[in-house]
Structure 1
Amino acid sequence: MTPAKLADAVLAAAHALFSERGLDRAALPATTTVERPRNPEHGDYASTIALQLAKKIGLPPRELAAGLAEQLARTPGVKSVEIAGPGFLNVRLDPAAAGQLARVVVEAGREYGRSDVLAGQKVNLEFVSANPTGPVHLGHTRWAAVGDSLRRLLAAAGADVASEYYINDAGSQIDRFGRSVLAAAKGEPTPEDGYGGEYIADIARQVLAEHPAVLDLPGDEAEAVFRNEGYRLMLAEIKASLGRFAVDFDVWFSERGLHDSGAIEHALDTLRAQGHLYESEGALWLRTTDFGDDKDRVLIRGNGEKTYFAADAAYYINKRERGFEKCVYLLGADHHGYINRLRAIAACAGDDPDANIEILIGQLVNLVREGQPVRMSKRAGNVITLDELVDAVGTDAARYSLARSSTDSPLTLDIEVITRRSNDNPVFYVQYVGARTASVARNAAELGLTRGDAESFRPELLAHAKENELLKALGDYPAVVTAAAELRAPHRLAHYLEKDLAPAYHRFYDNCRILPMGDEEITDLHRARLWLNDATRTVIANGLELLGVSAPERM
């Protein structure tokens, strides 16, 4: 019995009791949940439904709990129900009902943990969006890991989610980039406002190789070639770096396209129709202070130039018009000021900022080796790049390490720790459990031990305390996936794999022998434990997949 099915049984017991006693069924919730008690001696699961309903229907909580306990105890698979404290229901399952979860997990395979909780939600998830003027650096990399994991989690919870990269390919930074590449091609110093680093020289060499006569062109024409070709090459490198990091975007959206397509003018018409535009000092303004911004924002300057904010407004409106109900922005640590202004854009467009837009801010990442900060990148000039991180620690270690901590806090990664093949390396610790389950399965096959079919499975044999503990951990997985998606918190999944599932499997493995020894006859207990072993393998693989991390069968 899964926690979800037990929760359904609790709600069914409540419906039965209310019908039997003529109580107001309108007070009943549409759904309920069960939780694992902190103390295993209190039972397998606990419900607070009696406490939640008692006041609504005018009954003492313990009296209501007694009636619910009597009803719930009739449910097949429920061994006992006890009332604790002011009205908690502590439920114990019989071993057969608990053990059936191993079969459920194995038979569901990759689908175990997936749900339709967020079905019907269409979400646009924008992250990374690094300017195409340099390589993806360590700060972007944290959002690459977290954002892609969140995309996978949202999809697993049933949402229709599109990951999107906003390419800042319009404006002065692209012009400065082009001048920097041109200067490198000529062997001249980097312009004062330009971009440095060896990558600029690399791009200049590639442009010259593809366009050997470009320096013979007039200055403006040559600069345009270096700007456009340099941009193309830089964007291709960004895509390749992210692809190597197992991050592939559904949409690559060009800022330049907003300007060229008339989307900005369309957005201005939309905002004007909502009554939030005004002119002052020759400029066109959006009255964002009406919706919590610290100052109104200029959309078109007095010289007729459109601002970045105008593009931001047009981009949000474009997302909404593409049918996305929720626009989620994952922004860097230096973007706190964007929260109110983006929310104000949504409000000025006639939307509900609490429902239609969400802004997440990620904190900085530091890289250390032997307790000392890792030197800045020679190639990028003043940052550590994504490629350099992957070269140093590998994709799995990098992704897991970046996603396993809450983005609310700065993160320091120790290269020695995350590359160490030992249990104090979190990603190794989790992957090793998956590899151990695969090893057990291989050894079982060599001994002629198979799970057998579902009909011959005897779940009641999984009665050892450590088996029960592991079954509970496996049962928690779907709720963990849902919570990680709803709370935008992939680190919750990593915490579950590290702190709950992996330790529970180790204790099971140490206390419950799966494989027969010597000439020992293969029994139904061995087969039942192999089901449990394989269920663990399934959940480890599923969880790591949602974090974009592999689950190797050998380590």
Structure 2
Amino acid sequence: MTPADLSRTVLHAVHRAVAENALRAPVPARVRVERTRPGGSGDYACAVALQLAGDAGLPALEVARILRERVAAEPGIGRVEITGPGFLSFTLDAPGDSDRAVLDAVREQGSAYGHGGALRDEVLQFHRAREVRAAVTADVVRRLGVSQGARVRISCEEAGEAGEAEWGLLGVTADAYGTPPVTSPAGPSAPLIPVRPVPAGATARELLERLGPDATRWGLLRPASHDRAPLGDELLVQGEANPLFLVRYAYARTRALTRGAAALGFTPAADAAPYERPARPLLDLLADHPRVLLAAARHRAPDRVARQLEAVAHAFFDFHDSCPPLPSGDEKPSAAHRSRLALAEAAGTVLAGGLSLLGISAPAHL
């Protein structure tokens, strides 16, 4: 991690603290970090807590504590200490430690990697039309909110869809029909958050008959909600020009690598050997995945998840082609192969988890 990376990490922690209402202060345009002076603690130090304390109306030590909680778990950060009147002192991981920490987290958390509790204090009430794109978008917005700890309800403007088979095939539901009341016997209700993407221009039945549920959902979710959704037969093309196929093929390839390694008698190990340069983009995307999911949940933007999966798939194939996880010919499995396999499996886990959030299947064979 470079000083610029550390500065961005601390600034991101400030953004999070303000967004989560833990701090009430203007977010600075940048955060300055400096090398620790001789005799000081850690590798770098930062005075951002002292900078924010006045506007936040809190002691600098309390601001530092709030920020430390949000920085300490970031990849590349080994230890965060509070020194003096409220300085943050950072000890960075040794090279490679942060990569192993990310891969360990993916392995331990599985398809829930990137889920968290940042929205655990929020109650979200989404309100949508009885239209297929609004229904699918609301369903994924619910999944994203729940993945970050929020309590979520969805209401639909019109009744009548619950018994229709196509809604079940698309996996969409509503908790209530009609406009919910502003107040209830228990007190004020959560404010309504409208889900109003550009309509699909086709019915759920028409799309399912032509595309099936997975391609329908991808076609509706991949564009930003303010853009028209292209829903042509290109969604069914079995080629890498089709992003849905690319993502699912990348996942299927990671499963094939695991099967191939088992047949050759070796298993993955993230710490078996250092990662080569072509692995860097994929490692960075996996490390960034929790941030992408939280941003997608906060902004009600399923398209961000779809774009993240596309980026992971492209980076996986670039890595795979440059650094094959399986030996070829008479080559024996090496420590490098074990490390590469661990990265490939982590990529597959992230792809499967992201597809699950979008309500799309991840077949092990294509």
TM range (shorter): 0.7 to 0.9
Shift of 1:11: 7.5
Structure 1 vs Structure 2: percent identity of aligned residues? 29
CA shift in 2, pair 1:365/1:121, >3 Å: same
Shift of 1:523: 2.0
Q: Which residue of 1 aligns with 2:249?
A: 432
Shift of 1:536: 0.5
Q: Does 1:364 align with 2:196?
A: no
Q: Which residue of 1 aligns with 2:364?
A: 553
Shift of 1:527: 1.4
- Is the Cα contact below 8 Å between 1:473 and 1:501 reproduced in 2? yes
CA shift in 2, pair 1:320/1:429, >3 Å: farther
Structure 1 letter corresponding to 2:176: W
TM normalised by structure 2 equals 0.75
SS of structure 2 residue aligned to 1:362: coil
For 1:486 and 1:165, the matched residues in 2 are separated by: 21
For 1:155 and 1:323, the matched residues in 2 are separated by: 21
Q: Which residue of 2 aligns with 1:325?
A: 190
Structure 2 letter corresponding to 1:522: P
CA shift in 2, pair 1:320/1:478, >3 Å: farther
Q: Residues 349-388 of structure 1: matches in 2 within 5 Å?
A: 361-366=196-201, 384-388=202-206
2:151 to 147, 160, 164: 160
Q: Residues 226-305 of structure 1: matches in 2 within 5 Å?
A: 235-238=161-164, 240-249=165-174, 251-253=175-177, 255=178
For 1:147 and 1:320, the matched residues in 2 are separated by: 26
Q: Gapped runs of 5+ residues in structure 1? A: 35-43, 46-56, 58-66, 78-93, 131-139, 169-233, 256-311, 331-360, 367-383
Which whole-Å deviations, capped at 9, do the CAs of 1:497-529 have from their partners, x for residues lacking one? Answer: 11x211110110000110122332222221111
CA shift in 2, pair 1:504/1:18, >3 Å: closer
For 1:396 and 1:115, the matched residues in 2 are separated by: 26
Shift of 1:393: 0.6
Q: Does 1:520 align with 2:337?
A: no
For 1:243 and 1:96, the matched residues in 2 are separated by: 45
Q: Does 1:486 align with 2:298?
A: yes
For 1:108 and 1:158, the matched residues in 2 are separated by: 15
Q: Residues 112-151 of structure 1: matches in 2 within 5 Å?
A: 112-128=113-129, 130=130, 140-151=131-142
Q: Which residue of 2 aligns with 1:276?
A: none
For 1:450 and 1:486, the matched residues in 2 are separated by: 38
Which whole-Å deviations, capped at 9, do the CAs of 1:390-420 have from their partners, x for residues lacking one? Answer: 1111111110110111111233322x21111
Q: CA RMSD in A?
A: 3.5
Q: Does 1:413 align with 2:223?
A: no
- Is the Cα contact below 8 Å between 1:123 and 1:162 reproduced in 2? yes
Structure 1 letter corresponding to 2:92: T
Q: Does 1:464 align with 2:276?
A: yes
CA shift in 2, pair 1:385/1:75, >3 Å: closer
CA shift in 2, pair 1:517/1:241, >3 Å: same
For 2:338 and 2:185, the matched residues in 1 are separated by: 53
Q: Which residue of 2 aligns with 1:102?
A: 103
Structure 1 letter corresponding to 2:99: A
CA shift in 2, pair 1:418/1:8, >3 Å: same
2:307 to 485, 495, 519: 495
Structure 2 letter corresponding to 1:488: R
Shift of 1:364: 3.3
For 1:536 and 1:442, the matched residues in 2 are separated by: 15
For 2:267 and 2:348, the matched residues in 1 are separated by: 15
For 2:161 and 2:298, the matched residues in 1 are separated by: 32
For 2:116 and 2:365, the matched residues in 1 are separated by: 30
For 2:107 and 2:317, the matched residues in 1 are separated by: 19
Q: Gapped runs of 5+ residues in structure 2? A: 15-32, 54-58, 77-84
- Is the Cα contact below 8 Å between 2:182 and 2:191 reproduced in 1? no
- Is the Cα contact below 8 Å between 2:268 and 2:342 reproduced in 1? yes
1:445 to 238, 242, 262: 262
Q: Does 1:389 align with 2:207?
A: yes
Which whole-Å deviations, capped at 9, do the CAs of 1:414-464 have from their partners, x for residues lacking one? Answer: 2x2111111121211111111111111111111112126xxxx416x2321
Report the count of equivalent residues. 314
Structure 2 letter corresponding to 1:450: T
Structure 1 letter corresponding to 2:364: E
Structure 1 letter corresponding to 2:199: L
